[in-house]
Amino acid sequence: MKFEVTILGSSSATPIYNRNPSSQVLNINERLYLIDCGEGTQQQLLRFDIKASRIDNIFISHLHGDHYLGLVGLLSSLHLNGRKKSLNIFGPAPLKEIIDLQLNYSETILEYPLEYKFTNPLAAEVVFENADIIVETIPLDHGIACTGFLIREKKRMRKLLKEKLAELNIPIEYYSAIKKGQDYFSPDGTIYKNEMLSLDSEEPKSYAYCSDTQYNEKYFNQISNSTMLYHEATFLNNMLERATETRHTTALQAAEVALKTNAKKLLIGHFSARYKSLTELLDEARSIFPETELAIEGRTFIVGD
């Protein structure tokens, strides 16, 4: 099953040349999910040839402008381009008021419905589920209400050993039960254990998106063993005092989070505009957690690769 994340924006509060505010697109089994929508997101979608019309679910972590100021523009463009199907928005409750206000004063009536699911910054909750994934909120520590998002694949059914099934003349109507892990009882009373008829599917992969937060171990248990962890790394550790003051994380701290939660890979982003080059941030994180990559705009990362 495809599970990819494409970086649209990786800057923090202010954009700089070649870096836009936070936004990412997940492609999971050819369904697109947008996480955060900073200014310029729809331009980035065009730039990287990602069709906005394919996005049916948008997740907003919090209401600092660099994480949502591109949303109304995107909603308006979808309206002008003839969208009819509903769009789900997950985020803080005041986000609806912000969108309603801007649509009201521009006298815009969207041609498609918006469905809201308000996030709770105080407790982890499942906010979305379909046949492929489950999405939970991650309560973070950022001063204002802020949640990350944990996206987990659902466990797939077992893989049939079709040559073995044919050899034993097992009727096709039993295949579904065998996929679910059941043994097969033949008419002559022979019991064929599921392990000889099928193989276990791959372990489900997970992607933890920790947007803006200071270092706080309260969310560590929830994101433990993530296949890929995205964690903000706004500053170098020589600016730890500034990071603490603004409730952000340093690259060194992000690496410590990955190490302590047993992440398989770390992706760092939300870089301060003060850093023209990101090499120092990458080197600092890799000094503790070698499996670290930079969230470079336009790059697509395969979760589990």
Indicate which residues carry an active-site annotation. 66
Distance CA 69, CA 47 (A): 18
d(CA 180, CA 289): 38
Structure tokens at 6: 């494409």
Transcribe the chain into DSSP letters: --EEEEEEE-B-SS-BTTBPBSEEEEEETTEEEEEEE-TTHHHHHHHTT--GGGEEEEE--B-SGGGTTTHHHHHHHHHHTT--S-EEEEE-THHHHHHHHHHHHTT---SS-EEEEE--TTS--EEEE-SSEEEEEEE--SSS-BEEEEEEEPPPPPEE-HHHHHHTT--GGGHHHHHTT--EE-TTS-EE-GGGTEEPPPPPPEEEEE-S----GGGHHHHTT-SEEEEE--B-GGGHHHHHHTT--BHHHHHHHHHHTT-S-EEEE-B-TT-S--HHHHHHHHTT-SSEEE--TT-EEETT-
- Report the 10 Å Cβ neighbour count for 182: 14
**C-alpha separations of 31 from 63, 201, 247 in Å:** 25, 21, 33
What residue has token string 């591109």?
70
